[in-house]
């Protein structure tokens, strides 16, 4: 269903760091990008093993998860449906979903809050459908993301990752714990009030002193930006040749530079940033650049 892939680790030569590396999960696939590939890998295996034929999931109008699920479903022989939060719109992301054959059901925000009830109201006890939570959050997704740690051939003092639901961070922390590493995991919530991420991680693995949560780099909240962040994206992309998006990865990379500037992270330490992909999110920000 999903062939095994291993993304490269690339060393970045950029001031002020001497040992700065990026795990290039963004190179895994253009549509099932980065952590989305890892999250869906075992979900689809479980759905197939249960003889399900129809994937049902949830997301916003610019959701990378919806695109990834649509592409993964088409490649793996599943039908796919998505409940899309908010009023009906047309954009590039949803066009890609539709081209992959995904049915889109636009849902008012109040109904969207209760996903289990929404799913039940449309599909009832339909034995062919398989529920996938928003962002792919699940134990299967955590398992897939933990494999990032097992792929690393070297050790690092610090690993950084952006967080929306906390699933990828939970997988990384679980991998660090299972491997018995001394690495610090720095999680950058991209939503305002990101302390809840610790609770989400705790659903899947024990919270330990490996975890550092930095909640001040949301730039106003989910999908919010600022002129400072946009300027950072342009400079970082120009200096490194690596594209980053305003919703997730830019906030993570900004945090790394800022924490170094504040002397909270020594620039000589071995630092690994996990590039979780999601570059299609740039399409929703094109007017801002």
Q: 8-43: per-residue pLDDT in tens? A: 999 999 999 999 999 999 999 999 988 999 999 999
Q: What is the pLDDT confidence band of residue 115, given thresholds at 50, 70 and 90?
A: very high
DSSP at 244: -
Residues 129 and 192 occupy one common structural domain? no
Q: Which of 136, 161, 186 is the last residue of a domain?
A: 136
Residues whose CB is less than 8 angstroms from the CB of residue 32 and which lie 6 or more positions away in sequence, other chains included: 40, 68, 71, 72
Looking at the 3D structure of the chain, how many domains does it have?
2
Q: What is the pLDDT confidence band of residue 5, given thresholds at 50, 70 and 90?
A: confident
Q: Which of 136, 161, 196 is the last residue of a domain?
A: 136
In the predicted model, what is the mean pLDDT of residues 174-181?
Answer: 97
Q: Which of 70, 104, 136 is the last residue of a domain?
A: 136
Residues 263 and 175 occupy one common structural domain? yes
State which residues form the domain around 221. 9-30+139-288
User: Would you state the pLDDT for residue 126?
Assistant: 77
Whether 172 is in a domain gets the answer yes
Whether 42 is in a domain gets the answer yes
| pLDDT value at 283 more than 80 | no
Rounded to 5°, the CA angle 181-183-188 comes to 135
- pLDDT above 70 covers what percent of the chain? 99
In the predicted model, what is the mean pLDDT of residues 230-258?
Answer: 97
Residues 59 and 184 occupy one common structural domain? no
pLDDT in tens, 50-71: 999 999 999 999 999 999 999 9
User: Would you state the pLDDT for residue 31?
Assistant: 94
Residue-wise over 18-32: b if at least 16 C-beta within 10 A, else e?
ebbbbbbbbbbbebb
Q: What is the pLDDT confidence band of residue 2, given thresholds at 50, 70 and 90?
A: low
Residue with tokens 């039908």: 79
Residues 16 and 152 occupy one common structural domain? yes
| pLDDT value at 1 more than 70 | no
Integer Cα distance of 77 and 69 in angstroms: 12
């Amino acid at each position: 269903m999903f062939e095994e892939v291993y993304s490269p680790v690339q060393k970045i030569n950029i001031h002020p760091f001497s040992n700065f590396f990026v795990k290039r999960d963004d190179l895994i696939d253009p549509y099932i990008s980065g952590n989305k590939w890892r999250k869906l890998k075992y979900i689809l295996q479980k759905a197939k093993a249960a003889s399900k034929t129809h994937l049902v999931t949830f997301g916003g109008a610019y959701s990378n998860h919806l695109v990834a699920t649509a592409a993964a479903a088409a490649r793996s022989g599943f039908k796919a449906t998505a409940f899309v939060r908010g009023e009906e719109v047309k954009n590039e992301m949803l066009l890609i979903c539709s081209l992959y054959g995904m049915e889109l059901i636009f849902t008012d925000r109040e109904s969207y809050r209760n996903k289990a009830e929404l799913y039940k109201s449309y599909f009832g006890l339909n034995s062919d459908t398989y529920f996938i939570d928003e962002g792919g959050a699940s134990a299967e997704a955590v398992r897939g993301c933990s494999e990032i740690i097992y792929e690393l051939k070297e050790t690092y003092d610090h690993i950084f990752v952006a967080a929306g639901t906390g699933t990828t961070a939970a997988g990384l922390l679980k991998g660090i714990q299972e491997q018995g590493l001394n690495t610090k995991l720095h999680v950058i919530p991209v939503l305002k009030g990101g302390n809840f991420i610790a609770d989400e991680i705790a659903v899947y693995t024990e919270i330990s002193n490996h975890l550092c949560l930095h909640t001040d780099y949301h730039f106003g909240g989910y999908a919010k930006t600022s002129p400072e962040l946009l300027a950072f994206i342009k400079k970082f992309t120009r200096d490194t040749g690596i594209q980053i998006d305003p919703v997730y990865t830019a906030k993570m990379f900004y945090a790394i530079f800022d924490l170094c500037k504040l002397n909270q992270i020594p620039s000589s330490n071995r630092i690994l940033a996990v590039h979780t992909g999601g570059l299609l999110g740039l399409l929703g920000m094109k007017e801002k650049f």
